[in-house]
Structures are given as C-alpha cells and as structure tokens.
C-alpha cells in the first residue's frame, strides 16, 4: 500500500466535493470529483515531468470525451457510433506505451460514465470544464508534493538497483552462469532521465554518479561470474546492501571491500570493481542527508521498460476493443438508457490485449464488481438524502481504491465500483438501479469481453519465437561491436557498444514479459512452449556473460594486439548467430557448419593461454562457443560436430 499517494489523491477528490457542499449543492462537485478521481490513477505513470504530462493529457482527454458522451447520450445510434470510435481510439493510442494506454483508457471510462446523463451543449461544456478542473486540482497537488519528496523517488530506485546487485553477488558462487539483473537498472535509468525540476545540479550529479557506478559494477560482476572466481568475499554483497540502506536514510558506514582474485586475468576487473564500490559508497553518503519520508506523497515510479512509438492503425487489439465496446453499449441501451453505461464500463475494464490479463485478472474484476455493486447498493440506500454522509461515502471509497490498487486488484475493483455507484447516485443517475440489474450488467459486460477476445484473439505465444530471434540478433550485434572495438578501439566504438547494449535490454524485457504471458495461455502444438522458451533464454545468458568479459577487458586493461584470426572468428560468430535467429523465427532446425569451430581453433592457435590477458580473450571465445552449442541443441540441430 502507498498511503501517502492515496492521501494526496483523496484530497484532490475531496476539494471539488467539499467546495460544492459548502455552496449548498453537492451534485455540482460530482464532475470535478470524477475528473480528480480518474486523474489520480494517471499519476501512477511516469516520474516527474512525465507524470505531470500524463495527468494533463488525461484531464484534457476526459474533458473532451465527457463532452462528447453527454451530447451523444440523447440518441442510441449516436452513442453507439461514438462508442465504437472512442474504443478504436483507445486501443490505437494505447500502443504508444503504458502512460498513453492509461490516458486513453481513463478518457474512455469518462466517456462511458458521462454518456449515462445526456445534457445540452451548454450544460455539457460546463460539466467538461468541471472534469478538467478536477484533473488540474490533482496536478497542482502533485506539484506541491515534489519538494516534499526529498529525492525519495531517485534514492528508492537506486537502492533497488544496489539491493539486486547484492543479491546477484551472493548467488554467483551457486549459479555463475546467470547474467546480472537488468530490470532495476532500466527503471533507474528512466527515473534519472526525468529529474525533479526543483533539484539542485549537485544532487542530480550525485544520483547520476551512483547510476554510472551501478552499471559498471554490474558489468564487472558479470565478467567475474563468467570467469568463476574463487573466494569472492561476502563483504561485496554486504557493501552493496549497505549502500542501498544508506540511500534510504541509514546512518551506518559502508564496509570496505577489496578483492584480489587468484586468476590474474580477472585482477584488473576486480580492482576496478572495488574502486567503483568505494565511489558509490561515497556518493550515497553525500546524497543521503536525512531519512526518506515514510509516507511518500508521490507513488513509486513505474515507468514502462521502453516506449513503443509505432502505431498499427488496423491492429487487432484496437478493432476488438471498438467492436466489444459498441456491442456492450447496444446491449446496455436496449435495457435502459440510464443503466446502459454499466455493461460497456465493465467490458472496457475486463478486456485487455492479452489472454492472461483478460481472463486471469478478469475473473477478479468481475467478482469485485459484483461485490462492489451489492455493497454500494446498500450504502446508497443508507446515505440517500444525507449530503454529508454521501460525500463521506464517496471519499471513503476513493481512498480505498487508491490504497488497494497495487496490493489486490479484486479489492480495488470492489472499491472503484462502489465509488462509481455512489458518485453517480449524487446526481440521481443509475445509482437507483436495482442490485439485480447491476449484477446482470456486470456478468454481461465481463462475458462479452471474454467472448470478444476469443473471437478475435491476439495470442502472445505467436510473438515469443520472433522476440527470441530478435534477442539473438541484438546479442549478435553487441558481440560484433565489442570485437570490432577490440580490433579498433575508438570513442565511436564505445558509443556503438552502449547503443547495442541498450537494444538488448529492450528486447530482453519484451521477451521476459512475453514468456510470462505465454505461460498463462492455452497450449498449442504450433508455437514454442514457455518451458522451451525459458531454456533458450537461459542459454543466451552464457553469451551475455562472454560479452561482459570482453567489454570489461576493454575498459579495465591494455589488451594485446588482436590477432588476425579474431576478425575471421567475429565474422563466423555473426553468421552463426544470424542463422540461429532465422531458424528460430522460421521454426526449423539451424543449418550448422564447421566454420565457427575452425575459426575458433585458428584463434586459439594464435593466442598464448599462459598470458593472463590473452587467456581472458580465450575464455570469452569459449563462452561464445558454449552458448551457441547450447542454442543449437535447443533448436534441434543434428550436427554431430557441434
């Protein structure tokens, strides 16, 4: 639970309701309260400027859609046509990323809610202005909360990075072939890319210094894990954990860390690792002046790993959402105009682009909506005619919705359903429908969403194989960039390596999400299974560790002049990985040739294994070959010489 965030957003909902109550007409504040309530959930997206931008777009979007919904509500054909267009826009805009998806869905929800109360142009315009005002109230409260956060957002993100690095350091001895974590670093990167406008330049420099140290520590740990060093001291994990605690306000001292491995090939990486741990400890101590507040008025940042900028104008997700929303509105208006919004609202909340969220979490949504409809029905009957009690009930359900959004979606659905029923009952709209009607509408909307997904499915399992192919290609490009930099080091080569590494992070995040969703889908004999996909993903980690070994060597020591055979080996490695990626996408066995084995043997003949630096290159080359051999077996290669 995030009580500080819930308190801030509930205050935003209370302002228009309390102001209208003091004026003697609580119903005047309903539109503003709805705008503030929905905008509060939009403030979960982004960090600082990105969060504020999402809230402003949501407020403007809801103002526009509420105006259209109120005007179109007079006519069933008009509201159905508008619902289809709004549903298509929601599904299409949602392709731009998590923040855009949230803004689009919230705007669609506002459209459906306000379609239940048809108004004339002048009244609809006033109502839309109130919705916009409620959203702006939440935006102002967010601005006020920024200085009070005391850089807690940045420090919490960095602390999570160092905790994960400490956990990885502890597990190296047990599982040395696991690549270091990337998700916490990807999140911290986006948090620090959106700095607080009120932060001082020195503080921004320190948090960026901590992130740079964390990225270097991650690479050095990966290189040491690939070399399987003996005796990696426990003080490393203790130091990293202590840095995380210092960032969150602890006064403890970070224990010193020093490591001199027996293997000379990794001596420079170990020394560089120790220096960056010391530097991170110093930066954390300088940054952490005072404990981070226990009650965070800003919610924990949840930036999407990476933002998609491509829009498919005829995507199946958008067309399915538009079709289901239109049919739901037709069914609702068939029964009664005043309750017609409920089926469409339930369908919109249940229907998602993937099977897992639509069906697995959809059951919780439907169950929570049913319980919420019953609870709110009784609550409305008790508080009807008592304005103060109605306002108190609305604020209670709003606070419950904000508090339960993260811990339990079923409880959140109960709370948000109760809020919708109670807030609309203040205007005499649809809160008066019977509990039986509400239950039937909920079941109809949920069933329609699930039927719509099965009628026009978008199976995640069809994306997993191509995404794994993309991951192999991304790793191939990084290996090629590292080997090219080894042969011809230059500033531009370092930039190419950094860009290739970021591309791997993007694809790997998408692959992990895809496999997780595939595990919850019905099995199919024509697509790759989740278990096999996980084994392929695990095999790529050995390749990633070989990349980290060579990249670390480029940064920490003076490598010998590259032998002529290295260029030929790099070309053979590139061709082999490209063939594996093509075979994976085409669902066929790869065509394995002897070229990579021959070039590796030629390279080994030119390098001296007794020299530590040259032995490090040989270790990385062996890692590449081992990873490719595993991938060949997993993809069904029948080569006896692999």
What pLDDT, in 10s, does the model give residues 111-123?
999 998 899 999 9
Helices vs. strands in the chain: H and E counts, helices first? 24, 0
In angstroms, rounded to a whole number, what is the distance separating the alpha carbons of residues 112 and 419?
Answer: 15
Q: How far apart are CA 105 and CA 544, in angstroms?
A: 38
pLDDT for position 54: 93
Sign of the alpha-carbon dihedral angle for 285, 290, 291, 294: negative
pLDDT attached to residue 63: 96
Three-class secondary structure of residue 531 per DSSP:
helix
Query: For tokens 């969060």, what's the residue?
Result: 51
Percent of the chain with pLDDT over 90: 39
Residue 10 is predicted with a pLDDT of: 96
pLDDT at position 229, please? 56
Question: What is the predicted pLDDT for the residue at 430?
Answer: 46
Other beta carbons within 10 angstroms of residue 265's beta carbon come to 22
For 102, how many CA atoms within 13 A lie in the half-sphere containing its CB?
Answer: 23
* pLDDT value, residue 249: 82
CA distance 471 to 463: 12
Confidence of residue 432 (pLDDT cuts 50, 70, 90): very low
How high is the pLDDT of residue 639?
A: 52
Length of the chain, please?
642
> What pLDDT does residue 133 have?
95
The DSSP code for 594 is S
Conformation bin of residue 24: beta by default, left when phi > 0, alpha when psi is -120 to 50? left
Q: pLDDT tier at 208 (50, 70, 90 boundaries)? A: very high
Using one digit for the tens of pLDDT, what is the confidence trace for 499-554?
Answer: 999 889 889 988 988 888 888 888 776 678 888 999 999 999 999 999 998 888 88
Neighbouring C-beta atoms of residue 128, cutoff 10 Å: 25
pLDDT at 371 over 90: no
Is pLDDT at 290 greater than 90 in this prediction?
Answer: no
**What's the half-sphere exposure (Cβ side, CA atoms, 13 Å) at 238?**
11
C-alpha closest to that of 92 among 317, 425, 408, 369: 317
Q: Is 62 exposed, middle or buried (0-12, 13-18, 19+ CB in 10 A)?
A: buried
Arithmetic mean of pLDDT, 362-382:
82
How high is the mean pLDDT of the chain?
86
- DSSP, collapsed to helix, strand or coil, labels residue 276 as helix
What whole-number distance in Å separates Cα of residue 338 and Cα of residue 429? 7
pLDDT at 262: 67
- In angstroms, the CA 43 to CA 633 distance is 47
Q: Would you say residue 431 has pLDDT above 50?
A: no
Better-predicted residue by pLDDT, 440 or 12: 12
Tell me the pLDDT tens digit for each residue of 555-596. 887 766 777 888 899 999 999 999 999 999 998 999 888 889
**Confidence category of residue 641, pLDDT binned at 50, 70, 90:** very low
What pLDDT does residue 93 have?
A: 93
Residue 308 has pLDDT above 70, yes or no: no
Residue corresponding to tokens 């904000």: 402
Eight-state DSSP code of residue 521: S
What is the rounded distance in angstroms from the CA atom of residue 409 to the CA atom of residue 415? 10
* Three-class secondary structure of residue 90 per DSSP: helix
Is the per-residue pLDDT at 265 higher than 80?
no
Average pLDDT (593-621) is 84
Q: Which residue has the higher pLDDT, 226 or 32?
A: 32
Distance (Å, rounded) from C-alpha 482 to C-alpha 28? 64
State the sign of the Cα–Cα–Cα–Cα dihedral 101, 104, 107, 111.
negative
Q: What is the pLDDT of residue 58?
A: 96
Cα–Cα distance, 411 to 32 (Å, whole number): 24
Q: What is the pLDDT of residue 533?
A: 92
Who's near 300: CB < 8 A, 6+ residues apart?
Answer: 2, 153, 156
The average pLDDT across 392-404 equals 93
Cβ atoms 20, 387 nearer than 8 A: no
The Cα angle at residue 522 between residues 516 and 523, in degrees rounded to 5: 90
Is the pLDDT score of 642 beyond 50? no
Q: Please tell me the predicted confidence (pLDDT) of residue 382.
A: 80
In the block, residue with structure tokens 């001291």: 233
Residue 162 pLDDT level (bands cut at 50, 70, 90): very high
pLDDT at 351: 92
The residue among 108 and 273 whose pLDDT is bigger is 108
Range with top average pLDDT, 75-89, 144-158, 386-400, 417-431? 75-89
């Amino acid at each position: 639970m995030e009580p500080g965030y819930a308190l801030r957003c509930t205050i935003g909902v209370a302002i228009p309701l309390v102001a209208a109550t003091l004026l003697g007409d609580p119903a005047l504040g309903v539109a503003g309260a709805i705008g503030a309530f929905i905008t509060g959930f939009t403030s979960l997206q982004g960090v600082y400027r990105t969060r504020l931008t999402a809230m402003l777009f949501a407020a403007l979007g809801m103002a526009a859609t509420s105006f259209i919904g109120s005007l179109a509500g007079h006519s069933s054909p008009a509201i159905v046509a508008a619902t289809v267009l709004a549903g298509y826009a929601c599904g299409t805009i949602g392709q731009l990323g998590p923040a855009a998806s949230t803004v689009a869905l919230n705007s669609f929800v506002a459209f459906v809610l306000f379609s239940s109360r048809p108004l004339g142009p002048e009244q609809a315009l006033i109502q839309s202005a109130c919705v916009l005002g409620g959203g702006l109230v939440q935006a102002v409260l967010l601005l006020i909360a920024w200085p009070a956060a005391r850089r807690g957002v940045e420090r919490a993100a960095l602390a999570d990075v160092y905790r994960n690095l400490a956990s990885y350091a502890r597990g190296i001895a047990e599982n040395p072939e696991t690549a270091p974590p990337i998700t916490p670093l990807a999140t911290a990167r986006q948090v620090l890319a959106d700095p607080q406008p009120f932060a001082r330049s020195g503080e921004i420099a320190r948090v960026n210094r901590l992130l740079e140290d964390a990225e270097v520590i991650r690479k050095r740990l990966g290189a040491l894990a690939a070399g399987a060093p003996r005796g990696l001291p426990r003080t490393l994990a203790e130091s990293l954990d202590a840095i995380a605690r210092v960032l969150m306000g602890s006064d403890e001292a970070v224990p010193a860390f020093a490591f001199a491995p027996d293997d000379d090939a990794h001596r420079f990486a170990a020394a560089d690792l120790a220096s960056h741990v010391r530097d991170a400890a110093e930066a954390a101590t300088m940054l952490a002046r005072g404990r981070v507040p226990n009650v965070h008025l800003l919610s924990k940042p949840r930036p999407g790993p990476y933002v998609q900028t491509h829009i498919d104008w005829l995507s199946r997700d958008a067309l399915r959402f538009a079709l289901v929303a239109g049919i739901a509105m037709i069914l609702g208006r068939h029964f009664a105009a005043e309750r017609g919004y409920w089926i469409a609202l339930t369908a919109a909340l249940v229907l998602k682009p993937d099977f897992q969220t639509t069906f697995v979490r959809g059951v919780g949504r439907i169950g929570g909506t049913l319980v919420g409809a019953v609870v709110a029905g009784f609550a409305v009957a008790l508080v009807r005619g008592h304005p103060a009690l109605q306002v108190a009930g609305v604020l209670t359900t709003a606070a419950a919705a904000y508090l339960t959004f993260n811990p339990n979606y079923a409880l959140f659905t109960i709370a948000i359903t109760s809020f919708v029923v109670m807030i609309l009952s203040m205007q005499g709209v649809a809160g008066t429908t019977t509990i039986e009607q509400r239950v039937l509408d909920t079941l109809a909307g949920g069933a329609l969403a699930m039927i719509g997904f099965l009628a026009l499915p978008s199976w995640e399992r069809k994306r997993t194989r191509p995404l794994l192919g993309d991951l192999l290609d991304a790793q191939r490009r990084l290996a090629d960039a590292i080997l090219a930099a080894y042969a011809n080091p230059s500033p531009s080569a370092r930039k190419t390596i950094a860009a290739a590494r970021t591309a791997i992070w993007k694809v790997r995040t998408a692959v992990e999400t895809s496999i997780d969703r595939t595990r919850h889908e019905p099995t199919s004999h024509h697509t790759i299974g989740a278990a096999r996909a996980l084994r392929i993903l695990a095999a790529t980690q050995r390749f990633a560790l070989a990349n980290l070994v060579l990249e670390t060597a480029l940064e920490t020591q003076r490598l010998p002049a590259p032998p002529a055979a290295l260029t030929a080996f790099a070309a053979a490695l590139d061709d082999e990985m490209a063939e594996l990626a093509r075979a994976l996408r085409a669902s066929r066995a790869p065509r394995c040739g002897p070229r990579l084995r021959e070039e590796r043997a030629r390279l080994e003949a030119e390098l001296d294994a007794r020299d530590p630096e040259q032995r490090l290159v040989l270790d990385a080359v062996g890692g590449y070959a081992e990873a490719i051999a595993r991938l060949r077996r997993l993809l069904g290669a029948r080569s006896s010489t692999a």
